[in-house]
Chain A
Amino acid sequence: AQSVTQLGSHVSVSEGALVLLRCNYSSSVPPYLFWYVQYPNQGLQLLLKYTTGATLVKGINGFEAEFKKSETSFHLTKPSAHMSDAAEYFCAVSEINSSASKIIFGSGTRLSIRP
């Protein structure tokens, strides 16, 4: 069974600082991996996804994530935080080649940006 662990329910960084949100996954088959962002009272928006190929994935709003199979990790980074990045971030995993696949979400990390 798949699962996702997000380390740190709340991360606070200064504006302009590096953002690092940690995600580890468990999957019995090669996974597809996702990061979603959720702003207050809104649905989830896809930031980026890893399926196959290049392990460094670039997404919207300057975010990127690297798939590291040996570490079963898919950490999300952004070189310089903006105030508008304050939101809830969810890491998620889905199994490849599953005829009835579903995406399993982590419990989320709330990102706060200090002026």
Chain B
Amino acid sequence: GAGVSQSPRYKVAKRGQDVALRCDPISGHVSLFWYQQALGQGPEFLTYFQNEAQLDKSGLPSDRFFAERPEGSVSTLKIQRTQQEDSAVYLCASSPGSNYGYTFGSGTRLTVV
């Protein structure tokens, strides 16, 4: 497609439930990023892929968070045993390469109840 697509658009999870968030980047974009945006805050970096390689995962807040991009295109962010503090909008972005500026998807709003 023409843009970055994220699904689902909204997700409500019970505390302790596992969730998986999907990102379809722009075709041919080698760089893919995940960000977490809490209400009223700026996006916080989670992790970065170049093709299928995860080059930076320094922003993942705990070992409950896991991201993959096995074929260098679609990426999945998985959160295990969700907690209330995980409630946020999760944004995915892709880029042709470093420092070009990103194209963002519309995000997945996760609410943990």
A residues bordering B, Cβ < 8 Å?
32, 34, 36, 41-46, 49, 51, 90, 94, 96, 98-108
Contact = CB atoms under 8 A, between A and B. Distances in A.
Contacts of A32: 99
B17 interface: no
A105 B43 contact: yes
B87 interface: no
Interface in B24-51: 33, 35, 40-45, 48, 50
Contacts of B101: 34, 46, 49, 103
B112 interface: no
User: Which of the four size classes fits the interface of chain B?
Assistant: 20 to 34
A87 to B, nearest CB: 14
B111 interface: no
Contacts, number: 60
B104 A105 contact: no
A23 to B, nearest CB: 12
A43 B99 contact: no
B42 A90 contact: yes
B113 interface: no
B84 interface: no
Contacts of B18: none
A100 B43 contact: no
A103 B56 CA distance: 12
B56 A43 contact: no
B104 A45 contact: yes
A43 B4 contact: yes
